[in-house]
A = this chain, B = another copy of it.
Amino acid sequence: MSSMTGDKIKISVFGQSHSKGIGVVIDGLPAGQKIDMEKVLKFMDRRAPGKNSLSTQRKESDTPEILSGLVNGVTCGAPLCMVIYNENQHSSDYNNIIDTPRPSHADYSAYIRYNGFNDVSGGGHFSGRLTAPLCFAGAVCMQILEDMGVEIQAHIQKIKNVYDDKIDFVNIGKWNTDTKAFPVINDEKSKEMIAEIEKARENGDSVGGVIECAVTGVKAGFGNPMFDGVENKLAKNIFGIPAVKGIEFGNGFDAIDLYGSENNDEFCIVDGEIKTKTNNAGGINGGITNGMPIVFRTAIKPTPSIFKEQNSISLENKTEEKLQIKGRHDPCIVQRAVPVIEAVAAITILDLLV
């Protein structure tokens, strides 16, 4: 269970923040697909830390090494295993969290779940570092999807109370957020968002955000009713990303402010094809795609690692203790989570389509 998912494209993620390596096995990839490793690395680089003052200055070596599944760069049908070796396996920064769990991290729940044997160093298997293999798997899946005419893009919709431009659910267009250091559509808004992040950083604090993702090019008729629909599959996998606390499709929670007559997506014929005039459903009815863009938003909570002193407890003594988290941490991970959301969307949509 736990770190495996998928029906036809199955992935198995392994590794802890400070273990010898982290990686992923992808089982079920169609054979004969040329994988452009340059593109994969470029995609993974969007998630990598240390690119500016907004994210952690830890050096993270994210060079993926392919152990299996490719022959001369082409998928051979066998499981594709990728490993990233952890160079820095020092973990002294985490000594004090062994007994003093960090608020809103998995330290405490994992301590109970694993009888105290969980790897606390760097957050262990719960570390955000484990999203690197997800990005690798997503980048591979995305190349296959591109050949099928499917495109996936995401942007930061909101940081604190600063919103990016509202997108048109019907005509998604090209956001080019994959080429931006800070992936928002409106660069003016990115300045405001960055200012919010800087402010949090200066206060030893953190902020979260909302990421909006659009998948275009998926034809009508994919998915299933009830428990195996597109929303179920995406939700199941997206919640696999650390710090995600909510997901909504189409206009999601905002639909409550509308009447049915406003929220319903009326049908129309455009160039001889059946479309809907609006896309409040986010491309999915009854768990099945309707041919309109799939749109969903994800809530990323503020980074739980902050520099401010916090109240915690001693697991051993069951006494209240103060906690000062050491090391370097991101005041905001939302910009780095954007490719992760795209990646998990790619893995899920490929599983849906093959």
Contact = CB atoms under 8 A, between A and B. Distances in A.
Contact of A255 (B15, B266, B302): B302
A318 B268 CA distance: 9
B14 A306 contact: no
A32 B229 contact: no
Interface in A112-126: 112-119, 121, 124-126
B76 A119 contact: yes
Given A104-B264, A227-B5, A240-B229, A14 B81 contact: yes
Given A67-B20, A306-B261, A239 B245 contact: no
B2 A32 contact: no
Interface string A157-178: 0111100000000000000000
A278 to B, nearest CB: 9
Given A2-B27, A65-B20, A109 B245 contact: no
B240 A232 contact: yes
Contacts of A80: 14
- The A contact surface, by secondary structure, is mixed
A133 to B, nearest CB: 11
Interface stretch (A36-44, A47-55, A143-151, A308-316): A308-316
Contacts of A310: 261, 264, 266
A8 B1 contact: yes
- Interface size grouping (class) on chain A: 35 or more
A239 B263 CA distance: 18
Contacts of A320: 267-269
A221 B297 CA distance: 28
B265 A67 contact: no
A93 interface: no
A64 B242 CA distance: 30
Given A109-B288, A232-B240, A248-B253, 10 more contacts: A1-B228, A76-B125, A108-B267, A112-B219, A113-B220, A235-B235, A261-B308, A264-B306, A266-B310, A274-B315
Enumerate the 5 nearest inter-chain pairs by beta-carbon distance, A residue then B residue, closest first.
A106-B286, A246-B248, A206-B260, A78-B125, A112-B221
